[in-house]
A and B are shown apart, each in its own frame.
Chain A
């Protein structure tokens, strides 16, 4: 539960080594928060972030839990363990994801199936477990980091784009199912964000930063929005992109 000052007591980050995810936590944590749960594949990858949070918010209890998006059967149990340990989850941020390599001659990148499973199946599995718990609680807020890449899939990364598109659609349906339950789900659709995921790429137009995504996400959570775009302009850009004739889209998508 949020306390009487509107401050969430427990915040959980899934894919806790994500640069965007960490930026969101920095944005929403404040004095009065009791617990931050960092769910991550390898504990060592968040050691530094944990130290940082401990340093800035000495009163906040930081817990690290082992989490792999691909271990679907473990997700329910993980949520249950968190709840036993610290009580209701008030805010959950879902930030794991993989970009994957570009498809090559075989047209199927070696990691295609895995990328699809992390981004789509992993999200379905975790969101399902989280939403079930929050529905039981009758309160809670989830922020899912989707992507504009799912809005119109590009030939350079069809696996990433389609898996994000699938997860985004799932999240929309789930969000609608949760209406009236006291639980809300925010879908965040950033454009190109300069992070370790994209470090090897050249920035696309309307590129933004983890910090900007975090600010927008915090606002979206507070106001109970369903979908936000970062930067906000992308909403209009993509409403045009979505309807562009194929040849023009192909050309455009090639450049960016």
Chain B
């Protein structure tokens, strides 16, 4: 059947490794079931807003279920408990737009609001509050999942722990998440109370991050271009939701206003190479100088604190036609020397990443493929046209794995199967559950194929 269906070119947010897929707008349960029945050996995968960087939400030659919210997907809040049941297609932006004014914030937000609830669970996303609140899956009490055999199942951590945790972080490979119930965070204002400070190098930065526990949200941006004694210099921003008393001249009603408007749009496709080591190093210098030398307190909006890049629509095009990859890994505490060596290696490479994001995670959860593990995580963007980066990454990959670390599947675009095996020691356990949940091998994606995730 598939041979006559139209093919659509899809790629992830990094605009790399596009593939030709049969895209189905999964507007209702019937449509999804039919698509599964009609799929061939190339299988089916769900796709949310396509904000993962690599290829987990595309399926060359197979079916892609577009889980798009046409504005009619449901959000049901219990104002007593803060539990919300939302359609998997709902974006975090829509959740914020509707629930922030009612005094509720999402339990975890990534660096963009443009992700769906389904994508948030499938990647078990983390945010600036991981060290306090854990990842998205930690707040979910129930997942409604459509299995490959066409059954709708309710998964909870109590009654079906293996299936529940195989789905959290399971990259869409256990079924289609239809909706989920999770706990929101109560807030009294839509503002953030933020402290900004800067550190002259990486070890100073890591030292000041030791008292992160006093803040609900924390993240550091480090300059990968600076060399020598300033290597790894960075700006640390930490904060919490502001209380009404933190705001001047604002009444209770307007304190919860939320405006998600995007500001600018990047030009269609930027010439590749505009981001080079000169422009990046100039940018980083200005950015570092702009940060106050002393600790500085400010009040910011949710958007500017959590989602600065959402202000520029389709900023991913800044990297030109060949796209970019995001490299994110975590190494356990105790591997600080490895982390320094990696920053050193990457900064020697002039790999033209504006900034890298450094953060520490608390202990991870029960998801065998969930990314966070207690330790330091670093994320950086690298233009994909420098073929030599493959060798650099191969070296860094080995350092990460050797230190007992792992790579984030939602961002990965280059690791090899053995890196998953070494980084995720519970992979086989996940595979066993996955195979039980998908005996006919329906769920497949480009990522799963490249990494042999569902190999039997």
Q: Could you tell me which A residues sit within 8 Å of B by CB distance?
A: 1-7, 9, 30-32, 34, 59, 87-88, 135-139, 180-182
Please pick, from A32, A87, A138, A139, the residue contacting B394 in the complex, using a CB distance under 8 A: A32
Instruction: Tell me, in angstroms, the Cα distance from A59 to B417 when the chains sit together.
Output: 12
Please pick, from B17, B61, B387, the residue contacting A138 in the complex, using a CB distance under 8 A: B61
Instruction: Tell me, in angstroms, the Cα distance from A240 to B391 when the chains sit together.
Output: 46
Q: Which 4 A-B pairs have the closest CB atoms?
A: A4-B413, A138-B61, A32-B390, A4-B16
Stretch in B121-129, B260-268, B330-338, B446-454 touching the partner: B446-454
**B323 sits at the interface (CB 8 A):** yes
Known: A3-B413, A4-B17, A30-B387. A139 touches B60 (CB 8 A): yes
Decide if A87 touches B449 in the complex (CB within 8 Å): yes
Decide if A1 touches B394 in the complex (CB within 8 Å): no
Instruction: Tell me, in angstroms, the Cα distance from A139 to B416 when the chains sit together.
Output: 19
Decide if B325 touches A4 in the complex (CB within 8 Å): yes
Question: What's the dominant secondary structure at chain B's contact region?
Answer: loop
| Smallest beta-carbon distance B416→chain A, Å | 5
Instruction: Name the A residues within 8 Å of B414 (CB-CB).
Output: 3-5, 7, 32
Decide if A1 touches B61 in the complex (CB within 8 Å): no
Decide if A138 touches B413 in the complex (CB within 8 Å): no
Instruction: Name the A residues within 8 Å of B17 (CB-CB).
Output: 1-4, 6
| Smallest beta-carbon distance B388→chain A, Å | 9
User: B39-80, CB under 8 A of A: which get 1 and which 0?
Assistant: 011100000000001110000110000000000000000000
**B7 sits at the interface (CB 8 A):** yes
Instruction: Name the A residues within 8 Å of B194 (CB-CB).
Output: none
**B102 sits at the interface (CB 8 A):** no
Please pick, from A2, A4, A34, A181, the residue contacting B416 in the complex, using a CB distance under 8 A: A34
Instruction: Tell me, in angstroms, the Cα distance from A180 to B4 when the chains sit together.
Output: 12
**B19 sits at the interface (CB 8 A):** yes
Please pick, from B20, B21, B322, B450, the residue contacting A181 in the complex, using a CB distance under 8 A: B20
Central interface residue in B53, B325, B446, B450, by most chain A CB within 10 Å: B450
Instruction: Name the A residues within 8 Å of B416 (CB-CB).
Output: 9, 34, 59
Decide if B60 touches A88 in the complex (CB within 8 Å): yes
Instruction: Tell me, in angstroms, the Cα distance from A32 to B386 when the chains sit together.
Output: 13
Q: Which residue of B lies closest to A30 (CB)?
A: B390
Decide if B61 touches A182 in the complex (CB within 8 Å): yes
Known: A32-B394, A87-B450, A138-B19. A4 touches B384 (CB 8 A): yes
Decide if A1 touches B16 in the complex (CB within 8 Å): no
Instruction: Tell me, in angstroms, the Cα distance from A5 to B326 when the chains sit together.
Output: 11
Decide if B450 touches A5 in the complex (CB within 8 Å): no
Not counting A5-B384, A6-B384, a sample of 10 additional A-B residue pairs whose C-beta atoms are within 8 angstroms of each other reads A1-B55, A3-B413, A4-B17, A4-B54, A4-B325, A7-B390, A32-B393, A34-B417, A139-B20, A182-B7
Instruction: Tell me, in angstroms, the Cα distance from A5 to B397 when the chains sit together.
Output: 15
Decide if B452 touches A4 in the complex (CB within 8 Å): no
Decide if A5 touches B389 in the complex (CB within 8 Å): yes
Instruction: Tell me, in angstroms, the Cα distance from A209 to B225 when the chains sit together.
Output: 44
In B8-41, which residues have CB < 8 Å from any A CB? 14, 16-17, 19-21, 40-41
How extensive is the interface on chain B, given as a class? 35 or more
Instruction: Name the A residues within 8 Å of B42 (CB-CB).
Output: 136-138
Instruction: Tell me, in angstroms, the Cα distance from A182 to B19 when the chains sit together.
Output: 8
Known: A34-B416, A87-B452, A136-B61. A5 touches B394 (CB 8 A): no
Decide if A3 touches B19 in the complex (CB within 8 Å): no
| Smallest beta-carbon distance A235→chain B, Å | 29
Decide if B16 touches A5 in the complex (CB within 8 Å): yes
In B374-430, which residues have CB < 8 Å from any A CB? 384, 387, 389-391, 393-394, 412-414, 416-417
Q: Which residue of A lies closest to B391 (CB)?
A: A31
Instruction: Name the B residues within 8 Å of A139 (CB-CB).
Output: 19-20, 60-61
Instruction: Name the A residues within 8 Å of B16 (CB-CB).
Output: 3-6
| Smallest beta-carbon distance B62→chain A, Å | 8
Decide if B20 touches A138 in the complex (CB within 8 Å): yes
Instruction: Name the B residues within 8 Å of A5 (CB-CB).
Output: 16, 325, 384, 387, 389-390, 393, 413-414
Instruction: Tell me, in angstroms, the Cα distance from A160 to B122 when the chains sit together.
Output: 56
Decide if B390 touches A31 in the complex (CB within 8 Å): yes
Please pick, from B19, B53, B325, B393, the residue contacting A1 in the complex, using a CB distance under 8 A: B19
Instruction: Tell me, in angstroms, the Cα distance from A56 to B121 when the chains sit together.
Output: 41
Instruction: Tell me, in angstroms, the Cα distance from A19 to B387 when the chains sit together.
Output: 26
Please pick, from A1, A6, A88, A138, the residue contacting B7 in the complex, using a CB distance under 8 A: A138
Decide if B449 touches A1 in the complex (CB within 8 Å): yes
Cross-chain pairs A/B with CB under 8 angstroms, 11 sampled: A1-B60, A1-B446, A1-B450, A4-B323, A4-B413, A5-B16, A5-B389, A31-B390, A138-B20, A180-B7, A181-B7
Q: Which residue of B lies closest to A183 (CB)?
A: B20
Q: Which residue of B lies closest to A10 (CB)?
A: B450
Central interface residue in A7, A135, A136, by most chain B CB within 10 Å: A136
Decide if B384 touches A138 in the complex (CB within 8 Å): no
| Smallest beta-carbon distance B273→chain A, Å | 16
Decide if B389 touches A138 in the complex (CB within 8 Å): no
Decide if A4 touches B61 in the complex (CB within 8 Å): no
Instruction: Tell me, in angstroms, the Cα distance from A61 to B234 when the chains sit together.
Output: 40
In B431-456, which residues have CB < 8 Å from any A CB? 446, 449-450, 452
Instruction: Name the A residues within 8 Å of B391 (CB-CB).
Output: 31-32
Instruction: Name the B residues within 8 Å of A135 (CB-CB).
Output: 3, 61
Instruction: Tell me, in angstroms, the Cα distance from A6 to B19 when the chains sit together.
Output: 12
Instruction: Name the B residues within 8 Å of A138 (CB-CB).
Output: 7, 19-21, 42, 60-61
Instruction: Tell me, in angstroms, the Cα distance from A139 to B59 when the chains sit together.
Output: 11
Instruction: Name the A residues within 8 Å of B413 (CB-CB).
Output: 3-5
Instruction: Tell me, in angstroms, the Cα distance from A148 to B413 when the chains sit together.
Output: 40
| Smallest beta-carbon distance B413→chain A, Å | 2
Central interface residue in A5, A31, A136, A137, by most chain B CB within 10 Å: A5
| Smallest beta-carbon distance A61→chain B, Å | 9
Known: A3-B450, A5-B325. A31 touches B61 (CB 8 A): no
Instruction: Tell me, in angstroms, the Cα distance from A5 to B414 when the chains sit together.
Output: 7
User: B318-329, CB under 8 A of A: which get 1 and which 0?
Assistant: 000011010000
| Smallest beta-carbon distance B57→chain A, Å | 13
Instruction: Name the B residues within 8 Å of A7 (CB-CB).
Output: 387, 390, 414
Instruction: Name the B residues within 8 Å of A87 (CB-CB).
Output: 449-450, 452
Q: Which residue of B lies closest to A87 (CB)?
A: B449
Instruction: Tell me, in angstroms, the Cα distance from A190 to B250 when the chains sit together.
Output: 78
Instruction: Name the A residues within 8 Å of B387 (CB-CB).
Output: 5-7, 30
